[in-house]
Amino acid sequence: MKLRYIYQSVLFIIGLFFILLEFVGLLLPIAPQVPFFIIGAICLMKSSNRIRDWVKQHALYKKHRQKFIEKSKLLKRILG
């Protein structure tokens, strides 16, 4: 149980770090933004069921990404 809590905490911190890098990428045109955002979003979704449920209930996710993730075996495995 304690190991799972540490794993989720580390994923949450890594997710926040990549989201912050994405914001730096918005300010600096040299740094890419999209890969940082995707990695950060995946880490945050894996770290918390609450965040995962919020994202999956969001209209934008349902409208655009749900079909894409259902077609991709890799993304389906990562995001559940």
3-state SS string for 13-80: HHHHHHHHHHHHHHHCCCCCCHHHHHHHHHHHHHHCHHHHHHHHHCHHHHHHHHHHHHHCHHHHHHHC
pLDDT tens for residues 42-57? 888 888 888 888 877 8
The reply to whether the predicted model has a pTM over 0.85 is: no
Average pLDDT over residues 34-48: 85
